[in-house]
Amino acid sequence: MKLQFALILLLFISSCQGQTKSKDYNALLQEIEVKKSEFQESYSNANATKKVQILEEARVYLTNVITNDIFNQW
């Protein structure tokens, strides 16, 4: 359930298209997309203990990207 939320939120963020797009913002979206794919691959290959760790890493990453990068673009 938590992974689904994190992945949906990452998908939402990566698909958002602001009214004013800058090169930096587009690069940020590409970086998020790459990181999302890395999390998905790691999660699909992980055991139960590792999955919990990956979810926490994704949560921290997402929180940092939203607060430090995406909000700055708005």
User: In this predicted model, what pLDDT tens digit does every residue of 7-39 receive, in sequence order?
Assistant: 676 666 666 655 444 458 889 999 999 999 999
> How many domains does the chain contain in total?
1
pTM of the entire structure? 0.64
Token look-up 């690069």 returns 27
Supply 15's token pair. 């698909």
Structural domain containing residue 30: 2-73
CA 66, CA 46: separation in Å to the nearest integer? Answer: 26
pLDDT of amino acid 72: 78
Task: Count the neighbouring beta carbons within 10 Å of the beta carbon of residue 9.
Answer: 15
